[in-house]
Every structure is written in structure tokens, then in C-alpha cells.
Chain A
Amino acid sequence: MPKANVTFEDIGVTVTVPAGTRLIEISEKVGAGITYGCREGECATCMMKIVSGMENMSERSVLEDKVLQENMASRKHRLACQAQVLGGEVVVRPG
């Protein structure tokens, strides 16, 4: 199975994950500072910054894109409950 490496910059932990993993599946377990509200792509509580590796993330869905726009997110921001890691190296941090 293809793998990817996600680094949570705020706690200095890199997790090797199967391609297709959503950040929400691991960020809490590893103790990173990304926090969640609704957990279904509506409230934007889990907005996080992709420090590097955006090209290794899934495309924004229509729902995620709408919520990010409504919250004036920059192009570097994603919702941790929606975005999937597709491969390679990705570095994220809360905010």
C-alpha cells in the first residue's frame, strides 16, 4: 500500500500513514494541537496550515472549498477533518 509521511510541526512528530488517510484520523491520537468541532466539514474549527507538501494533499471538495472561502482561509489552509494525504511528505501545523 502506498505510504505518506505527515509531520505535525507543533509537536515534532512524523507519522507514516497509508495514502488516503485524513488528518483527523491521526492528529488527536498523536497529540497535535489541531482541534475539532463538528468533525464534518462545517464549522472550520480544525482549519490547519499546510507548511509544505500541498501537492501531496487531496483536492478540496466543493464542501471544503466553500467553508474555507467563508472563513477567509488562505490557499495554504485546509480542514483537517476533510483533507486526505495522498503520498510523499506533508508538514502541517494548527491555525
Chain B
Amino acid sequence: MSEAPVSIAPDVFWIGALDPQLRVFDVILRTANGTTYNAYCVRGETGVAVIDTVKAEYADTFFERLEQVARYDEITVIVLNHLEPDHTGALPELMRRAPRARLYISVKAQTMLKGLLKSEDLAYTPVDTGDTVNLGGRTLTFLNTPFLHWPDTQCTYLNEEALLFSGDVFGCHFCDGRLFNDRVGDFRFSFEYYYQHIMRPFREHVRAGLDLIEPLRLDLIAPAHGPILRDAPRSYVQRYRQLAAPLLHNEASDRAKTLVIFYISSYGNTARMAQAVRDGAEEIDGVRASLYDLQGGEVTPFVDLIEEADGIVFGSPTINGDAVKPIWDLLSSLAVVSVKDKLGAAFGSYGWTGEAVSMLEDRLRGLKLRVPVTGVRVKLIPTEEELDQCRLFGRQLGKHLTGRNARRVIDMSELFKEPHHAQG
């Protein structure tokens, strides 16, 4: 493959790099055939813009391609759609070679830029949705699209060509030097996989970003990774809209709040508690509570359930001073969905020490769930009174879910008592 730039529209060039050997991206993502780091150059009558750069190891290739379409003293604009190092690796050297260029970044990217370049003394222009920069006969318009997939992300639209430089949005890890979606191999799996691992945790932000993108005329979408989408570009936008929708129609009333209760039980004690928690929650109007034995399922569908739920409850025995592994496995698999602000809670039976409940509560708080009701712990076999405590716990969770919890005044010292230990 020669190091030639590729024209993607009149006076618009791909100047990125191919990385066919990459197999694991950012620890979390696998790719069976590498990736591309897409950077672009837009020539106007009075200025030249460079949109994004490449991973540091590929800087030489990037500069070689750039030099074939522009002189450094012509470059007036550098746009960074997203500051992750795979797109900004060549930035310091580009700034050194193109001293006339001004940086255009999102408002949120400012602190990241300072961290990246390790300097507080930087000249840049923070931009927001609707802000523009003129290159002489060509206009770049910015769209602020936070959390797709970092807080700093933005898209940049070249008005005259109806061309969206979309950053990581609509991208994928797929390396094929033929570049265009109608010429490369079948990358549909990679497109979906990328969405599921990179964009899915931010689906509310995906919807907000699509609200900005959908009204645009779109002749071409040029993402930061993977094929350039020139054949039916809008179909990829539509696919994102589908992927960002709930997985299944919710049969319960729109107003019903869903509470999913996962439990695991050695001798049936935690299972009986789980049943009582469910019964209690169901007593509250507007709550749809569901019970799942973790031993009867696999992680992936449970993650799907959690994504759609308003509240999540975990019941675990304490074994050797810890909650049990299937629960930790599930809790460590939630990075692909958003759980922030959901209601969380824990309960469980124990034989000797009973740490599992408070450990789970701490983990739920760490995942940014609200944990307003202290969990119930029962020593070994729950009595009827202790099952009443579980039902009360369920009702309290239901009230919190439906916003009917009683207003109360407490002293701070009450917050630091041991988890509630139901007495028989």
C-alpha cells in the first residue's frame, strides 16, 4: 500500500493510517483484522483544515500523506473531534510544523487537551453546536455530541459537501485499504460490535447526538475508524437509532417501574428472602418486580435486563467473607450499559460473618447507583418475622422507585450504623 492520500470529495482527502495488525483495542475491544486511524484534510480558498490525527506510531505515514495535499504554512485550522490518543498522537508534532494553525476543540475537551499536551499555555478555540470556521468558500460547522464516547466528543460538518466528520460515531475497527464502504470487505459485524462496546453505555447521549445529525443532508460520513460511508450513509444513522432504542417492548404500563431481583442461594435461605422482597415490592402500585436465580442464566441476557430496569437488587449468601462469584461476575460486566442513577440494593442470609450485603452496597454505589435503603441480613434460616423484614424492605424499595418514600429527618450517626440485622 503506498502512502498516498485518498480523495473522498472535491479538495477533501483521507490522510490517515492503516493498522492491520492490531488485535486488542483499549483493552476491552477485540478486532480480527486491525483498524484504521482516519484523519482528513479539507482545502479552502483561504485556509486548510486538518481533522483529527493518528496514533503516535503512525505519525510518519500521516505526515507523508498530509504533505502531498497541503504545505504546513497553509494549515490554518486543526479540528480535534475527540482527544483520545489514537486520534491525537501526531498532534504535538503537527502543531510544531504548522504554527499558523489554530486548534478547534469542544468546550469539554479543554481540560483533556491540557492533560494531553501537559501545558496550560495553549492557544485554542472552544466550540459548541452551531459554531463555524471559514476556510474560504468552505465552512466547517461543529456539533457538540458529548459522550460519544468520551465527554469531549464532537462532530464536524463540511456544509458545502454535506460531509460529516463524525469522530468515533459510525466508526468501527476494520482495516481495509480500499477505504470506502462499497469497496471494503463485509464490515457489518464490526460496525455492530463497535456500537455494542463503545456507544451502548451512552445510549441516551446517542439519541441526543442523532437528534443533531438526522436533520443534516448527508452525502458522506467520514468516521475516525473503519470504512468511509459513501454508499447509503443515512442507513448507518438509522441503524444507530435502532440500536439506541430499548431492546424489547415493555409489556407493563409505561408508568410501571421495573425492579429486577437477582439472587443465589446455597440452602434456600437467601432464595426465601428474595421471594419475600419481591412480594413486598409488588405490594406497591406501579412496581413490576421480577425474580431471577443467577444459577439459571448467563451474564449477557442479565446485563440486557439490567439496562432496561429502574432498580436492581442482589441477594447473596456470605461465603468465606465475600459475596459469591456469579454476582461479582455480573457486576463486573455492567461497563457496557448505563446504570447510573438506578436504584440499587442488597440482602442475604449468612452463617458466620455476613459481609456480603455491605460489600455489594459499596460496589453498587461505586457503579453510581443510588442505594437509599440499607440491606437486610439474616443469620441462616429466616423466621416469619425476618421474612416480614424482607417484605418491608421490598416495600421500601418500591416506594423509592415510585417516588412515594416518606420524607424523613435523621442524624448523621444513623448512616454509619451496621447494616440492618433482622432479629428473629
Contact = CB atoms under 8 A, between A and B. Distances in A.
Interface of A: 5, 11-18, 21, 25-26, 28-33, 35-36, 70-72, 94
A13 B341 contact: no
**Smallest CB-CB A-B distances: 10 pairs:** A31-B372, A35-B368, A12-B407, A29-B415, A14-B409, A17-B412, A28-B365, A16-B411, A31-B370, A31-B371
B340 interface: yes
Given A12-B407, A21-B412, 15 more contacts: A11-B372, A14-B407, A14-B408, A15-B412, A15-B415, A16-B409, A16-B410, A16-B411, A18-B412, A29-B415, A30-B372, A31-B370, A32-B370, A71-B108, A94-B341
A30 B407 CA distance: 12
A15 B111 contact: no
Contact of A11 (B340, B400, B416): B400
Best-buried of A12, A14, A17, A36 by chain B (most CB within 10 Å) = A12
Contacts of A30: 372, 410, 415
A33 B339 CA distance: 12
B98 interface: no
Interface of B: 107-108, 110-111, 340-341, 365, 368, 370-373, 400, 405-412, 415-416
A48 to B, nearest CB: 13
Contact of A13 (B108, B111, B407): B407
A16 B365 contact: no
A35 B341 contact: yes
- Chain A facing B: main interface SS: mixed
Nearest to A25: B412
Contacts of A21: 412
Contacts of A71: 108
Contact of A29 (B111, B340, B416): B416
A30 to B, nearest CB: 6
B107 A14 contact: no
A62 B416 CA distance: 31
A34 to B, nearest CB: 9
A21 B34 CA distance: 51
B405 A12 contact: yes
19 contacts: A5-B409, A11-B370, A12-B405, A14-B407, A14-B408, A14-B409, A14-B410, A15-B415, A17-B412, A21-B412, A25-B412, A28-B365, A30-B372, A31-B370, A31-B372, A32-B372, A35-B368, A70-B110, A72-B107
A11 B371 CA distance: 11
Given A30-B415, A31-B373, A35-B368, A13 B340 contact: no
Contacts of B370: 11, 31-33
Contacts of A11: 370, 372, 400, 405
Contacts of A33: 341, 370
Best-buried of B373, B407, B411, B415 by chain A (most CB within 10 Å) = B415
B395 to A, nearest CB: 16
A63 to B, nearest CB: 13
B412 A13 contact: no
Contacts of B410: 13-16, 30
A13 B110 contact: no
B406 A12 contact: yes
Contacts of A12: 405-408
A40 to B, nearest CB: 14
A12 B405 CA distance: 8
Contacts of A31: 370-373, 400
Contacts of B408: 12-14
A94 B416 CA distance: 22
B407 A26 contact: no
B344 to A, nearest CB: 9
A6 B112 CA distance: 34
A36 B415 CA distance: 18
B375 to A, nearest CB: 11
Contact of B371 (A18, A28, A70, A94): A28
